[in-house]
Every structure is written in structure tokens, then in C-alpha cells.
Amino acid sequence: MPAHIIDGKSIAAAMREDIARRVQLLPEDQRPGLAVVLIGEDPASMSYVTAKERACTAAGMHSEDIRLPVSTSQQDLLQLIDELNNRDSIHGILVQLPLPAHIDPDAVIHAIDPCKDVDAFHPENLGHMVMGSPRFLPCTPHGIVHLLQKADVPLAGAHAVIVGRSNIVGKPLANMLLQRNCNATVTVCHTGTRDLASHTLQADILVAAAGRPGLITPDMIKPGAAVIDVGVNRITDTSRKRGYRLAGDVDFAAASAVAGWITPVPGGVGPMTITMLLENTLRSAIAAADNEDPINVP
């Protein structure tokens, strides 16, 4: 029996409708505001920032799209972040990564007010997450957990294997899955892992987040497992108008014959990342209206 396809696009659409409804309940002067800062003209980043801006507008949020030249200095960027930190109309600040080589991403992440850090990259927010009392949850991992829950994939007692240990996906997702509300047993694999397949074949939940197209083949998947493909890789394809196609880290067609659940690329995890960004921004706005820390917003 072919795998059940977890439709991230439709799940995200339903969530965004609910977010838009909740936004409309707020007074106009409390409308959530998200500032997205992009430095340079990386095509993938530009496309992603545009998608975020459209999602904000559709949800009734204020979106401030700030695009700066690649020559922007670190000092100028930090001054901009300080200004946004102090602007009452802005509830979320996102600086699109990667940054030019002359700018230290850690300095930028540390500079963002933790109560406006809707990407949840600030060390203070990561600490709250690890302690099990999150202010915000990182968007992509939060989206993955939500997809698993909506698809009724059993989490408690499941063995989750994550391929990839990035600060954006692998590490925070591992922590989220082992929290008591998920209660999974977690293995994290990476470039130093020996015999990757011996680990992936044990997974009830397999998350591929390595950024390597086709890394996970059907012979590496436990029959009936839930397979979450986080990879978004551009593959040259002259038959396409844009000259490329998107592919995940999983051989989707072949894996679908083995897995119990699977996410497509595109249309799986991607739409959930932006949706969780909107959710975090809304929570920040609600907290600001009540003069509270977002950690206290349900």
C-alpha cells in the first residue's frame, strides 16, 4: 500500500486561516508586525522573503520588507536591529540567513530582542526550549512536529532518527521530540555517523535534513515508517522554465512504496515553516498588547 502523503500545503492553509481570524480580533493599533531583513540578492533567499511577505499580508499582518546591499556593514545592520527592537509596531524580527561573509551571524542573532526573535535562534530562547518552557519554538522543527501530529503519526515511544544536526532543524527538532509532550526516543545522525542505513532502518520516524538530494533511498527506510523530507535542493533541469527543479533528500517516488507516511517536496515541510513564523509573530503581538513576555502566551 502506498504511503499516506502528508499534505503540508493544506495543513498550513488551514492554520493560516485560523491565524488570520485571530489577527482580526486584535485592535488595529495592536496588529502584528514582522520585519524581514535581507542582505544581498541570493535568489533562494529573495524568493523565501517574498513568500513570507505575501503570507503576512494574507494573514492581515503588517510586513516590513527591508532589503539591503551586500556591502552593508555589520555595524549598520546591528544599528537597524536596535531600531527595530525599539519599534512598538514591530513584534517579530527575522534576519534572513545566510549572511555575507563579513557579517558575524552570531552577533546578529544575539542582537535581536529575545521577545521579538520569532525565528527562535537567540540562545535565551533556545535555553527556554531545552528547559521545556519555550518562549517561541523554531519554525521548521515546530512545523514538522505539527505535521506529525496532524497526520496522527504515533510519537510517544517512537524511535525518531534525524539525519542532519544543524542549529536550524536537526538539533532543535531532536530536543522537541524528546520533550514529554512528544516522548520519542531520538537518534541524530550526521557526517560522522558510520553505516547510516543501520540507523535509519530502526526509525519509526525518519527526518531527512542533510541537504543532499536523494540521500535516503527506499532500502534505508523501515516499512511503515513516517518519512519527513526537509531537504530543498535545486537540481538543474533544462526542461523547466526556471532551468531547475526542486528535490528533497528522499527519493520520494521509490520511498512512497515503503513508508507509511511521507512528505513531498515541495508542498510538505516548507509551507509549515512560514506558518509557524506567523504564529510566533502573532503570539509576540498578543504578549506586547498585554505587556507580557511571550512565554506567558498559550
DSSP label of 116: G
164 a known binding residue?
A: yes
Beta strands 185-189; 159-163: pairing state: parallel
If we measure between CA atoms, which residue out of 49, 91, 90 comes closest to residue 67? 49
DSSP label of 99: P
- Which residue out of 117, 119, 204, 249 is catalytically annotated? 119
135 a known binding residue?
A: no
| 5, 253 contact by CB (below 8 A) | no
241 is catalytic: no
CB atoms within 10 A of CB 214: 17
| 42, 294 contact by CB (below 8 A) | no
- Which residue out of 7, 30, 42, 52 is catalytically annotated? 52
92 a known binding residue?
A: no
232 a known binding residue?
A: yes
119 is catalytic: yes
If we measure between CA atoms, which residue out of 10, 6, 11, 15 comes closest to residue 228? 6
- Which residue out of 24, 30, 75, 96 is catalytically annotated? 96
CA atoms within 13 Å, Cβ hemisphere of 221: 30
9 is catalytic: no
| 90, 81 contact by CB (below 8 A) | no
Indicate the annotated binding residues.
Answer: 164-166, 232
Indicate the annotated binding residues for NADP(+).
Answer: 164-166, 232
Q: Catalytic residue positions?
A: 52, 96, 119
